[in-house]
Amino acid sequence: MEIDATKALFADSESNAHYVALEHSRSAYSKLLNSTKNPFKIILIYGRPGSGKSYLMQMFYDNKKAELPIFLFKEPTFERIRSLRDIFVEMTGETLPDGLSFEQLLKLFKEKIQKEIYILLDEAQLYDEAALEWIRILSNSPLFKFIISVHKLDKEDILAKAHFKTRTFETIELAYLSRREVAQYIEKKLLMGNDLELLSLFSKNNYRLIHKLTQGNLRDINRLMIRTLEILEHRLDRARTFFGNKLKNKYIEMAALDLKMHHG
C-alpha cells in the first residue's frame, strides 16, 4: 500500500482528475449546465469557503474547454486591458499594437470574434469596485458571459450592488457536505487509489468524527485526511499488524489537534 499516493488524492490540485461527484455537487453542476443553455449575462455561484465552488468551476471548465471559448481566472487576476488582450490573441492568433484602450479592444472583439466568450471568475468577492464596474460593462456585450463565484457571506452585498442586481440570470448555492456525503467522499477517494486495505480501516464512527470536526468543509476534510494518513504512515512503519482492525478515533483526534481543529 502506498500511502503517499493516497495522500495525493486529498491534496489541492489544479487538475480535475480526482474530482468526486457527490449528490449536492452533481445537482449544482446540472443546474449550471441548464443555466448556460439559456441567454444569460452572469451566473453567480455562492457558498461558504470550502463548500466546493472552486471544484465546480474547475469541473465546468475542464468539461467545456474543448467545445467553448472559455477562460478560467482562479484568483482575482482578470484585468481590464491585459486579460482582454490575452484572450483576443489566444482566440485570433493576431498581434495587437501597444497602447490600445479598453474601448478600442471591445471594438476589435466585436469586429473579429463572433463567438460567445465564457469568463469564469473564482473568488470574485476579492475584486474591487472599479473591477466590478467594468465587468458589468463587459456583461452588457452579447460577446461576454460571466460565471462568478463568491463567498456566501458576501452574497447579500454583491447582489445588492447595481453591477449585478439586474444582470444575474441564475444563482447556485453550494452547502457543506452532510455526514453521509463525508463518508461517500472519503470512500470514493480511497477507491480511486484502489486502496482497499486502507478503506477497510474506516468506520461509521470515524466518518461521524470527521464530519463533527470539519462540519463538512471540503478543504478541512482534505487537510484532516492528509494529516491522519501521515500519522498512520509513521505508525505503520513500526507495526504492520495495525491492519485488520478498525481505525481508532484517537488517530483522527491527534491529526485534528495538530491542525488546531480540535480543542479537547
Among 157, 174, 191, identify where a domain stops: 174
pLDDT tens-digit series, residues 32-63: 999 998 888 999 998 888 888 988 999 999 99
CB atoms within 10 A of CB 156: 9
Among 124, 159, 174, identify where a domain stops: 174
Cell of 202: 474506516
Domain of residue 142 covers: 23-174
Number of domains in the chain: 2
Whether the pLDDT of residue 31 is over 90: the answer is yes
Rounded mean pLDDT of the chain? 86
Arithmetic mean of pLDDT, 102-129: 91
- Whether residue 264 is contained in a domain is answered as no
Cell of 29: 453542476
Alpha helix stretches (DSSP H) within the chain? 3-9, 23-36, 53-64, 82-92, 102-112, 129-139, 155-160, 162-165, 179-192, 196-199, 204-214, 218-236, 249-258
- Whether residue 263 is contained in a domain is answered as no
CB-CB contact of 108 with 94 (8 Å): no
Both 110 and 197 in a single domain?
no
**How far apart are alpha carbons 264 and 151 in whole angstroms?**
30
Both 27 and 114 in a single domain?
yes
**pTM summary value:** 0.82
pLDDT tens-digit series, residues 134-168: 888 898 888 999 999 988 765 556 655 666 666 67
Both 79 and 142 in a single domain?
yes
- pLDDT value, residue 238: 45
The CATH number that applies at residue 47 is 3.40.50.300
Q: Which residues of 64-103 are buried (b: 16+ CB within 10 A; e: fewer)?
A: eeeebbbbbbeeeebebeeebbebbeeeeeeeeeeebeee
Alpha helix stretches (DSSP H) within 47-201? 53-64, 82-92, 102-112, 129-139, 155-160, 162-165, 179-192, 196-199
pLDDT band with cut points at 50, 70 and 90 for residue 264: very low
Both 170 and 198 in a single domain?
no
- pLDDT value, residue 128: 87
- Whether residue 10 is contained in a domain is answered as yes
- Whether residue 95 is contained in a domain is answered as yes
Both 154 and 28 in a single domain?
yes
Whether the pLDDT of residue 13 is over 90: the answer is no
Among 123, 155, 174, identify where a domain stops: 174
Q: Range with the lowest mean pLDDT among 111-120, 143-152, 192-201?
A: 192-201
Both 251 and 144 in a single domain?
no
Both 131 and 31 in a single domain?
yes
Both 36 and 160 in a single domain?
yes
- Whether residue 78 is contained in a domain is answered as yes
Both 93 and 37 in a single domain?
yes
